[in-house]
Amino acid sequence: MKYLIMLYGSQHDYDAMAGRPGARPPMSPEQVAAMHAHMAAVHQELAESGELVDGQGLTAPVHARRVRLRQGTPVVTDGPYPETQEVLAGFTVVDCVSFDRATEIAARFVDPDAEGGYVDVRPVADGIDDLDG
Protein backbone atom coordinates (compact mmCIF):
# COMPACT_ATOMS: atom_id res chain seq x y z
CA MET A 1 0.00 0.00 0.00
CA LYS A 2 1.18 3.52 -0.73
CA TYR A 3 1.18 6.25 1.91
CA LEU A 4 1.67 10.00 1.55
CA ILE A 5 3.75 11.66 4.26
CA MET A 6 3.05 15.41 4.27
CA LEU A 7 5.51 17.86 5.77
CA TYR A 8 4.40 21.36 6.74
CA GLY A 9 6.02 24.75 7.12
CA SER A 10 5.27 28.45 7.06
CA GLN A 11 6.81 31.43 5.30
CA HIS A 12 8.66 32.05 8.60
CA ASP A 13 10.31 28.63 8.25
CA TYR A 14 11.40 29.34 4.69
CA ASP A 15 12.74 32.77 5.70
CA ALA A 16 14.76 31.15 8.50
CA MET A 17 16.20 28.58 6.07
CA ALA A 18 17.20 31.45 3.77
CA GLY A 19 19.06 33.06 6.68
CA ARG A 20 16.66 36.00 6.93
CA PRO A 21 15.87 37.34 10.41
CA GLY A 22 12.22 37.28 11.40
CA ALA A 23 9.84 35.47 13.70
CA ARG A 24 12.27 32.54 13.81
CA PRO A 25 16.01 32.93 14.23
CA PRO A 26 17.83 32.55 10.92
CA MET A 27 19.37 29.15 10.29
CA SER A 28 23.06 28.97 9.59
CA PRO A 29 24.25 27.44 6.31
CA GLU A 30 25.49 24.49 8.40
CA GLN A 31 22.04 23.96 9.94
CA VAL A 32 20.36 24.05 6.53
CA ALA A 33 22.96 21.63 5.15
CA ALA A 34 22.40 19.28 8.11
CA MET A 35 18.63 19.35 7.54
CA HIS A 36 19.05 18.57 3.84
CA ALA A 37 21.57 15.83 4.64
CA HIS A 38 19.10 14.24 7.08
CA MET A 39 16.29 14.28 4.50
CA ALA A 40 18.61 12.87 1.81
CA ALA A 41 19.78 10.10 4.15
CA VAL A 42 16.21 9.05 5.04
CA HIS A 43 15.22 9.06 1.37
CA GLN A 44 18.33 7.06 0.46
CA GLU A 45 17.54 4.43 3.10
CA LEU A 46 13.96 4.20 1.83
CA ALA A 47 15.19 3.87 -1.76
CA GLU A 48 17.55 1.07 -0.72
CA SER A 49 14.75 -0.74 1.12
CA GLY A 50 12.48 -0.39 -1.92
CA GLU A 51 9.90 1.66 0.02
CA LEU A 52 10.50 5.08 -1.59
CA VAL A 53 8.12 6.03 -4.38
CA ASP A 54 8.86 9.78 -4.51
CA GLY A 55 9.78 12.69 -2.30
CA GLN A 56 10.05 16.38 -3.03
CA GLY A 57 10.32 19.69 -1.25
CA LEU A 58 8.11 22.56 -2.34
CA THR A 59 9.05 26.20 -2.85
CA ALA A 60 8.19 28.87 -0.30
CA PRO A 61 4.56 29.93 0.19
CA VAL A 62 5.43 33.29 -1.37
CA HIS A 63 5.49 31.40 -4.69
CA ALA A 64 2.11 29.72 -4.17
CA ARG A 65 -1.27 30.48 -5.65
CA ARG A 66 -4.61 29.47 -4.19
CA VAL A 67 -7.47 29.04 -6.65
CA ARG A 68 -11.08 29.16 -5.46
CA LEU A 69 -14.37 29.34 -7.27
CA ARG A 70 -16.73 32.18 -6.47
CA GLN A 71 -20.06 31.98 -8.28
CA GLY A 72 -18.42 29.69 -10.82
CA THR A 73 -15.51 32.05 -11.56
CA PRO A 74 -11.93 31.20 -10.55
CA VAL A 75 -10.43 33.66 -8.07
CA VAL A 76 -6.67 33.47 -7.65
CA THR A 77 -4.84 34.59 -4.50
CA ASP A 78 -1.06 34.88 -4.66
CA GLY A 79 1.01 33.79 -1.66
CA PRO A 80 2.25 34.22 0.85
CA TYR A 81 -0.75 33.56 2.98
CA PRO A 82 -0.77 34.77 6.57
CA GLU A 83 2.78 34.04 7.64
CA THR A 84 1.74 31.93 10.59
CA GLN A 85 -0.37 29.68 8.40
CA GLU A 86 1.29 26.37 7.74
CA VAL A 87 1.20 25.03 4.24
CA LEU A 88 2.42 21.86 2.59
CA ALA A 89 6.21 22.20 2.44
CA GLY A 90 7.08 18.82 0.95
CA PHE A 91 6.02 15.24 0.65
CA THR A 92 7.28 11.70 0.55
CA VAL A 93 5.36 8.79 -0.91
CA VAL A 94 6.26 5.36 0.42
CA ASP A 95 5.06 1.91 -0.56
CA CYS A 96 5.28 -0.30 2.50
CA VAL A 97 3.62 -3.20 4.25
CA SER A 98 1.42 -1.36 6.75
CA PHE A 99 0.10 1.91 8.14
CA ASP A 100 2.26 1.23 11.21
CA ARG A 101 5.39 1.03 9.05
CA ALA A 102 4.39 4.25 7.23
CA THR A 103 3.92 5.94 10.61
CA GLU A 104 7.33 4.70 11.76
CA ILE A 105 8.89 6.19 8.62
CA ALA A 106 6.97 9.46 9.05
CA ALA A 107 8.32 9.91 12.58
CA ARG A 108 11.80 10.27 11.06
CA PHE A 109 10.66 13.47 9.30
CA VAL A 110 9.45 15.27 12.44
CA ASP A 111 11.98 17.88 13.54
CA PRO A 112 13.02 16.87 17.07
CA ASP A 113 13.94 20.50 17.82
CA ALA A 114 10.54 21.90 16.83
CA GLU A 115 8.21 21.53 19.78
CA GLY A 116 4.77 20.67 18.42
CA GLY A 117 6.16 19.77 14.99
CA TYR A 118 4.25 17.16 13.04
CA VAL A 119 3.74 15.41 9.74
CA ASP A 120 0.59 13.76 8.43
CA VAL A 121 0.40 10.24 7.01
CA ARG A 122 -2.47 9.15 4.77
CA PRO A 123 -3.08 6.08 2.66
CA VAL A 124 -3.13 6.79 -1.08
CA ALA A 125 -6.39 5.70 -2.68
CA ASP A 126 -5.91 3.25 -5.55
CA GLY A 127 -9.49 3.71 -6.69
CA ILE A 128 -12.95 4.90 -5.79
CA ASP A 129 -13.51 1.95 -3.45
CA ASP A 130 -10.70 3.26 -1.24
CA LEU A 131 -12.50 6.57 -0.66
CA ASP A 132 -15.17 5.24 1.68
CA GLY A 133 -14.80 7.04 4.99
State pLDDT tens for residues 46-63.
999 999 999 999 999 889
* Contact assessment for residue 104 and residue 5, using Cβ atoms and an 8 Å cutoff: no
Average pLDDT, the chain: 91
Nearest 10 degrees: Cα torsion 86, 87, 92, 96: 70
Global pTM reads: 0.88
Q: Report the helix count and the strand count for the chain, using DSSP H and E.
A: 3, 6
Domain annotation covers residue 131: no
CATH number of residue 82's parent domain: 3.30.70.1060
Task: Tell me if 94 is assigned to some domain.
Answer: yes
> Is residue 56 assigned to a domain?
yes
| 80 found inside a domain | yes
For residue 22, is it within any domain?
Answer: yes
Number of domains in the chain: 1
User: Is residue 132 in some structural domain?
Assistant: no
The parent domain of residue 94 ranges over 2-126
What are the tens digits of pLDDT across the range 70-92?
A: 999 999 988 777 656 788 999 99
Sequence-distant (≥ 6) Cβ neighbours of residue 113 within 8 angstroms: none
Query: What is the model's pLDDT at position 126?
Result: 86
